[in-house]
């Protein structure tokens, strides 16, 4: 395997918007760097599941449900 091609993997500190902090390993910055997050992953819909909507274009979802409504019962 080639030497010195992988990025440096070290400890950094992550600071959440509510002020809480934790240490993790990352390739971000240098050893001991601080990563300040703008979005809180505990409340953001991308990480919590959020409100998901199912778009039914031209009745495709309805057609699928009708076609397979007795399947697996």
In a domain, 31, yes or no: yes
In a domain, 64, yes or no: no
Distance, in Å, from the CA atom of 73 to the CA atom of 59, rounded to the nearest integer, reads 23
Give residue 23's pLDDT. 97
Give residue 51's pLDDT. 62
In a domain, 35, yes or no: yes
pLDDT in tens, 20-65: 999 999 999 999 999 999 888 777 777 666 665 666 666 777 888 8
- Give the number of domains in the chain: 1
Give residue 73's pLDDT. 65
Is 27 in contact with 8 (CB distance < 8 Å)?
yes
Using DSSP's 3-state secondary structure scheme, residue 25 falls into strand
In a domain, 5, yes or no: no
Tokens of 10: 């070290």
In a domain, 17, yes or no: yes
- Please give the residue range of the domain that contains residue 31: 10-40
In a domain, 69, yes or no: no
In a domain, 55, yes or no: no
Give residue 55's pLDDT. 67
């Amino acid at each position: 395997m080639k030497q010195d091609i992988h990025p440096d993997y070290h400890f950094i500190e992550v600071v959440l918007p509510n002020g809480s902090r934790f240490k993790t390993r990352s390739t971000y910055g240098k050893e001991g760097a601080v990563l300040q997050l703008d979005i809180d992953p505990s409340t953001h819909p991308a990480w919590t599941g959020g409100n998901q909507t199912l778009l039914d274009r031209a009745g495709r979802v309805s057609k699928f449900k009708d076609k397979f409504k007795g399947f697996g019962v």
